[in-house]
Amino acid sequence: MGNARLDFAPRGTRQLLMLALVAGMLPLLAGCGGGVRSRFNVQTIPEGADVTVNDVHLGRAPLQMPFIWYWYYDFVAEMDGYETKRERVRFRSPVYLWVPLDLFAEMLPFKIYDTKTVVLELEKEDTTPDPEFVLR
């Protein structure tokens, strides 16, 4: 009887309990408030220009906005006395958001911040008259 094993649980129950425990913990980890927070900062030189992104007016720079998609964004900065600045910027996703790593990055119990910065430099508007206009 020295080698006899007293096990009252049916075969496979231990593995089933372990699977249920892990499956029960996944929603807890996902709901911990962690994951990736993506946002962009827009700065203009000079400060205070009106900023539009993908045809949506956001306000005056400097400003900060969250974003979801890593793709192309069309930025437009306008200010009196300056030429309008248009720039298309591509936000590339960090490695930890590539499949399948993104699943684990979103389930972390702490937040990961991914911040992109866009700087738009406006040039002074040329107010000198056209030479042909002056000669007439």
Look at residue 107 in the predicted model and tell me its pLDDT: 85
pLDDT value at position 129? Answer: 72
What is the pLDDT, as a whole number, of residue 33? 66
> How far apart are alpha carbons 94 and 92 in whole angstroms?
7
| pLDDT at residue number 4 | 56
For residues 58 and 51, the answer to whether their CB atoms sit within 8 Å is yes
Model pLDDT, residue 81? 93
Distance separating alpha carbons of residues 29 and 108, to the nearest angstrom: 7
61: nearest Cα among 39, 46, 73, 81: 46
Q: According to the model, what pLDDT value does residue 116 have?
A: 96
**What pLDDT is stored for residue 52 in this prediction?**
97
Q: Write out the chain's pLDDT in tens, 136 residues.
A: 556 554 555 667 777 777 777 776 666 655 566 788 999 999 999 999 999 999 999 999 999 999 999 999 999 999 999 999 999 999 999 998 899 988 888 888 889 999 999 999 999 988 777 677 655 5
Ordered by start, the domain boundaries in the chain are 34-121
Cα–Cα distance measured from residue 40 to residue 118, given in angstroms and rounded to the nearest whole number: 7
pTM above 0.85, yes or no: no
The SS3 assignment for 3 reads: coil
Best CATH choice for the domain 34-121 from the list 1.10.3470, 2.60.40, 3.10.50, 3.30.420: 2.60.40
